[in-house]
Structure 1
Amino acid sequence: MRRFIAALSVLVVAAIMSAPQAHAASGVLVIDGQAYADPHGCYPGGGFFVTVTNNTDRTAYVYPNKGCWGQHEGWVLPGGHASMNGGSVFIE
């Protein structure tokens, strides 16, 4: 029984160690002329209108309010550029 528990413990630790880890997007996200290298999280926009250039490997989501709360109003795919109504931008 002890061998089984020891083997099971080793397998659990190995599974945890090999699980993919969350990390910032790779690249540069430009919001209203302000560049953010390897961004992660919520970034403020200029007000009611935001311009986003997404030179990262993740999709950026544009929210109508400051703080990235509520339903996103649009998104900018990796390599994309867009101008739209928005108060903040979120990227994983």
Structure 2
Amino acid sequence: MKRAMKMLGTLAAAASIAVAVPAFAHAAGGSLIINGRAYQDPKGCYNSDQWPLRVDNKTDQPVVIFSGPDCSGDQLRVLFPGQYAIDEFGQSVSVPDSNDD
């Protein structure tokens, strides 16, 4: 039961960030590191074919990990600036894009 409540809390947080993410008017500043590969000032969606997915958000904006390729499927987790995560089910990462508003 505790696990289910934790998962619901995580999903609620992800949903609230997903609504807020399109409000940003520019790409993230800084670096997004996905499985050891760094992307400078990232925007859009980044796919990975390595598992588990390792994401280090060194940008100034939150990013979202998705269960499917091309930022499809379930939103698994939101990483705020400075956070790092390993997600065994993640396949892609979404970064705010100026074209989303």
TM-score w.r.t. length of structure 2: 0.66
Structure 1 residue ranges without an equivalent (≥5): 1-19
Structure with the higher helix share, 1 or 2: 2
Where does structure 1 differ by over 3 angstroms across 4 or more consecutive aligned residues?
none
Q: CA deviation at 1:35?
A: 0.4
Matched residue count = 73
Specify the structure having the higher radius of gyration (Cα).
Answer: 1
Q: When the two structures are superposed, what TM-score results if normalisation uses the length of structure 1?
A: 0.72
8 Å Cα contact 1:48/1:64 also seen in 2:
no
Question: Given residue 91 of structure 1, which amino acid in structure 2 is its aligned partner?
Answer: V
Alignment of 1:57-76 (within 5 A): 57-76=60-79
Aligned to 1:91: 95
Q: Percent identity?
A: 37
CA contact (8 A) 1:32 1:46 kept: no
Q: In the aligned structure 1, how far is the partner of 2:91 from the partner of 2:51?
A: 5
Gaps of 5+ in 2: 1-22, 97-101
Task: Give per-residue Cα distances to partners, 1:29-77, cap 9 Å, x unaligned.
Answer: 0000110000001001234420000000111100011100132111211
